[in-house]
Amino acid sequence: MPALTRHIHPGWLIIAPLLVLVMALYLGPILNILWLSVTDPEPGFGNYAKLGESDALIRIVWTTVRICIITTLFSVTLGYSIAYAMVHCHQRQKNYMLTLLLVSFWISILVRTFSWLMLLGRKGLVNVTLEDIGLIAEPIAFMRNELGVLIGMIHYMIPYAVLPLLVSMQSLDMRVMDASRNLGASGSQTFWRIYLPLTTPGIVASTLLVFILSLGFYVTPAVLGGGKVLMVAEYISVQLLVTLKWGTAAMLAAIMLMGVLAMLWVMSRFMKLSTVFGGAAR
Amino acid sequence: MTSGLFSKFNRVGAWVLLLFLVTPALIAIPVSLTPKRFLSMPKGEFSLRHFEKLFTSEEWLSSFFQSGVIAVSTSALATVLGTLCAIGLWRVSSRYSELVRAFLLLPLIIPQIISAMAFYRLWIPLGLLDSYAGLILAHTILAAPMVLITVSASLATFDPKLEQASKNLGASNWTTMRRVILPSIKPGVFAGALFAFILSWDEIVVTLFISKFSVYTLPRRMWNGIRENTDPTVAAAAVVLIAITVIAFVITSIMSRRSAKSQAQ
pLDDT of residue A207 exceeding 50, the answer is yes
pLDDT of residue B180 exceeding 90, the answer is no
For chain A, what is the mean pLDDT? Answer: 85
CB B107 within 8 A of CB B169: no
Taking CB atoms and an 8 Å cutoff, what residues of chain A touch B231?
none
Closest chain A C-alpha to B130 CA, distance in angstroms: 14
CB contact under 8 A, A117 and B28: no
pLDDT of residue A281 exceeding 50, the answer is no
For chain B, what is the mean pLDDT? Answer: 87
Q: What is the pLDDT of residue B163?
A: 83
**Whole-angstrom distance, CA of residue A239 vs CA of residue A32:** 17
Taking CB atoms and an 8 Å cutoff, what residues of chain B touch A88?
1, 7, 11
Closest chain A C-alpha to B23 CA, distance in angstroms: 9
Residue A60 identity (one-letter amino acid): I
CB contact under 8 A, A212 and B120: no
Mean pLDDT for B152-163 is 85
Domain covering A50-276 in this structure, CATH number = 1.10.3720.10
Q: What is the pLDDT of residue A279?
A: 43
Q: What is the pLDDT of residue B227?
A: 85
Range among A69-73, A104-108, B54-58, B251-255 with highest mean pLDDT value: A69-73
pLDDT of residue A276 exceeding 90, the answer is no
Confidence of residue A272 (pLDDT cuts 50, 70, 90): low
Q: What is the pLDDT of residue A64?
A: 92
pLDDT of residue A257 exceeding 90, the answer is yes
pLDDT tens profile B207-228: 999 998 888 999 999 998 888 8
**Whole-angstrom distance, CA of residue A164 vs CA of residue A210:** 10
ipTM of the complex: 0.87
pLDDT tens profile A135-175: 888 888 888 888 989 999 999 999 999 988 988 888 888 88
Mean pLDDT for B163-192 is 86
Q: What is the pLDDT of residue A141?
A: 84
CB contact under 8 A, A274 and B149: yes
pLDDT of residue A101 exceeding 50, the answer is yes
Q: Which position has the higher pLDDT, B191 or B138? A: B138
The size of the A-B interface in CB pairs under 8 A is 271
Confidence of residue A6 (pLDDT cuts 50, 70, 90): low
pLDDT of residue B80 exceeding 90, the answer is yes
**Whole-angstrom distance, CA of residue A94 vs CA of residue B217:** 37
Taking CB atoms and an 8 Å cutoff, what residues of chain B touch A94?
none
Taking CB atoms and an 8 Å cutoff, what residues of chain B touch A159?
21
**Whole-angstrom distance, CA of residue A3 vs CA of residue A10:** 12
Percent of chain B exceeding pLDDT 70 equals 97
Residue B242 CB neighbour total at 10 angstroms: 22
CA-CA-CA-CA dihedral for A89, A91, A94, A100, to nearest 10: -160
Per-residue 3-state assignment (H helix, E strand, C coil) for chain A: CHHHHHHCCCHHHHHHHHHHHHHHHHHHHHHHHHHHHHHCCCCCCHHHHHHHHCHHHHHHHHHHHHHHHHHHHHHHHHHHHHHHHHHCCCHHHHHHHHHHHHHHHHCCHHHHHHHHHHHHCCCCHHHHHHHHCCCCCCCCCCCCCHHHHHHHHHHHHHHHHHHHHHHHHHCCCHHHHHHHHHCCCCHHHHHHHHHHHHCHHHHHHHHHHHHHHHHCCCHHHHHHCCCCCCCHHHHHHHHHHCCCCHHHHHHHHHHHHHHHHHHHHHHHHHCCHHHHHHHHCC
Q: What is the pLDDT of residue B2?
A: 45
Which of A33, A217, A268 is facing B117, going by the closest CB pair? A33
Which of B39, B91, B112 is facing A216, going by the closest CB pair? B112
CB contact under 8 A, B28 and A111: yes
Mean pLDDT for A210-223 is 89
**Whole-angstrom distance, CA of residue B2 vs CA of residue A192:** 9
- Global confidence as pTM: 0.89
pLDDT of residue B120 exceeding 50, the answer is yes
Taking CB atoms and an 8 Å cutoff, what residues of chain B touch A119?
24, 27
**Whole-angstrom distance, CA of residue A62 vs CA of residue A246:** 21
Range among A43-52, A68-77, B50-59 with highest mean pLDDT value: A68-77
**Whole-angstrom distance, CA of residue B258 vs CA of residue A131:** 50
Which of A213, A219, A236 is facing B204, going by the closest CB pair? A219
What residue segments make up the domains of chain A, in order of their start?
Answer: 50-276
pLDDT of residue B248 exceeding 90, the answer is no
pLDDT of residue B3 exceeding 60, the answer is no
Closest chain B C-alpha to A53 CA, distance in angstroms: 24
Closest chain B C-alpha to A112 CA, distance in angstroms: 5
**Whole-angstrom distance, CA of residue B201 vs CA of residue B188:** 20
Taking CB atoms and an 8 Å cutoff, what residues of chain A touch B10?
81, 84-85
Closest chain B C-alpha to A100 CA, distance in angstroms: 6
Mean pLDDT for B137-155 is 92
Taking CB atoms and an 8 Å cutoff, what residues of chain B touch A14?
84-85, 87-88
Q: What is the pLDDT of residue A5?
A: 55
Residue B145 identity (one-letter amino acid): P
Confidence of residue A75 (pLDDT cuts 50, 70, 90): very high
